[in-house]
Chain A
Amino acid sequence: MNAPAEVDVVVIGGGATGAGVLRDLAMRGLRTALVERGDFASGTSGRYHGLLHSGARYVESDPLSARHCIAENAVLRRIAPATVEPTGGYFVATPDDPDEYLERFPVACATAGIEAEPMPLDELFRAEPLLNREIRAAYRVPDASLEPWELVEANLASAREHGAATHRYTAVIGFERSPDGSITAVRVRDERAGEERAIECRAVVSAAGAWAGKVAVLAGARLAMSPGKGSMLILNRRMTTAVVNRLAPPGDGDILVPVHTVCILGTTDIAVPDPDDVHVTRDEVDALLADGERLVPGIRHARVLRAYAGTRPLYDDPDHEGKHPDESREISRAHHVIDHGQRDGVGGFWSIVGGKLTTYRLMARDVADAVATSLGVDAPCRTADEPLPSPATGTPYWLGDRLAALEAEGGGDAELICECELVTRRRLTQALDERGDSSLDDLRRTTRLGMGPCQGAFCTPRAAAMVDARRPGTANLPLRGFLDERFRGTRPIAWGDQLTELWLAAGIFRGTLAVAGLADLSEAERATG
């Protein structure tokens, strides 16, 4: 690691919030460094449904969060248009949804300042022919689809332009504190090299989301998080052109989000003691499909490519102690800035918790305001005005972007490493240049490698050979790791065509390529087994 040994602020957590905090502070002229225990956007930010909220989802249950969402929805379209596909969204009342909510919804939207336009049903079914014909009412809202990996990467890139340092695979293992209790340094470990060191600092922002409770404990502070697991299914094509929400209080299987060439059906909400528990159960899959049927009849016969889960960073606000609901969904989605100096006597340590990916910038602003003030910096927040530097285009994303870029690159005949997601050799080479020491899963987050129907059956060995060419002798563990990772998400939904696809992959990797027979893998297994 060639990181500075001393900065003003260390930001913990490389999701959207941490990246946003880093950018905000760096733009105010502070010297900053960000540490992330895994890859950037590999936690909750990279494991969500891809929705840019209008806020209409929360107009009744959480009006503050709703107002934050609609404000930030407009900001993100302005500062990061290429990460937003302006699909629009609908709230639809199925026969199972309560009448009284249908009546209150437009009023609540108006109160929150969210445009909710009644949609005539004949128009709705013309626009979205697969929707349930028993839908009784619909409103159009400014929901959209959002690409989280590009958004996080763009924030980090902007922060780096302003002098910030970013370190992935760098875990926080402890803190150094002065006699008065203030933080003086963050102790970190490079998870790949195994080296430990300290980064001296004047302040720390924990943007560790669902893991913020664990980080606080290391600093001698306390923070009661209530991680909520949300599971989602990826269907192999878009069922709708716009986001579709159930017109009901937030519940399971209540949203369908078109994302790139696929769509995401979400979301369950299960309180989990361990934020690392992102295991999707068969019961969750069944529940999602059963509820999805109410939006799109027959959806259970569609091809599901994969199941995955993320962990919501829900904060158990002590102000509400004594009336904790069992369902984690009822805990507020609005965010909280916690000054652990005031609260726990740990000076220079802040946590930013709760919130939504949609409101990451606002969360960042609020905590950055507090930190800057305490450090005597009066530069204002500029993140709402200055566009993010990448991706380069200033126009909104549309579905044809990748094919258009491919045609521009190779006259339609650029070499494809991943056919499903149109990832070219050039794109992967560029990703390897930028992030040389990446696993195949890291490259997936950057390029969408292996995210299509075959779930890596064809691109995995091709990409491994590229990694080997770059760093001879290092490709086998990444290859093996990617097979494990892709299998984990396929297994809960392995039936029908996707089970046959899994058997094809098994034939390739166990039959023809005999992966287990790779010399260093069998040695590694002997050593551990």
Chain B
Amino acid sequence: MSLSPDKLLHAYRRMRTIREFEDRLHTEIATGQIAGFTHLYAGQEAIAVGVCEHLSDEDSIISTHRGHGHCIAKGCDVMGMMKELWGSAEGTCKGKGGSMHIAEVGRGMLGANAIVGGGPPIAVGAALAAKLRGNGTVAVSFSGDGATNQGTTFEAMNMAVVLKVPKIFVLENNGYAENTGANYGCGCEDIAARAEAFGFPVFRADGADFFDVHDAAAKAIAHARDGNGPAGVYAVMQRYYGHYEGDPQAYRAKDEPRSLRETKDCLGNFRASVTSEGTLTDPQLDAVDREVLELIEKAVQAAKAAARPRPEDLSNDVYISY
């Protein structure tokens, strides 16, 4: 599929924003300013963006504990996200959600979800709503290799087929479920084949190649939008960082993360592809890089200065009985 320069720039900006967001968080977390558990998505940008470039605000996605990339790919407000990570009252979720629960429901981002396998059943429900209302939208769940070992993922796959809902299962094999290799934890090597066994097509893609993911997602989403029931996208791409920030990563060969950055970089691949084809130029892409850098810097400064929640905010946005 050939994309217009505008669309290419849009996709590149989203991927670059994710990378910059995550790399900056890695630095900021080391300063001790951000509390709690943070899981970074850097390295896998082509998957989130390759899928979400096909979606509008009316389509919905549900993500994982490693959710920043999916949020940004779906168009969530980067300022609000950064403020949320700082636990500010001005954050996307008023500081009540944090990294693992960022949501922007109005943009169809139904939440990062910190229960591995928690998301797929909920996305089936969003897809069911789309089907019942006949509005032509689709719902997407992103799951890691770890979530493909949870029963809820399989329940959701079967239910999506039975109810024939416009649901896309994006399966991201990033090599590790927490501190355990996917080739140990997934008893059957071919994760996509497991999904196919439920009776829907799964399109395989190279998770470091935006164009490959974009093409696979196009097929899966078209299948679902056309009323044929669910479809899947399977992409492999290892994460650059640890399971969580602070993870010593002793389960990985020492040079694995560095070598991944050098040999499997979706941003580098994208740049090489569009400049060699002449659809975009290096200066155009460099300009995006600079703008994104400024945006992230601005977001971090804004997050540091943003209003803190008041203790009394604890008792709103929830029904209280006692």
Q: Do A and B come from one complex?
A: no
Residues of chain B having any CB pair with chain A under 8 Å: none
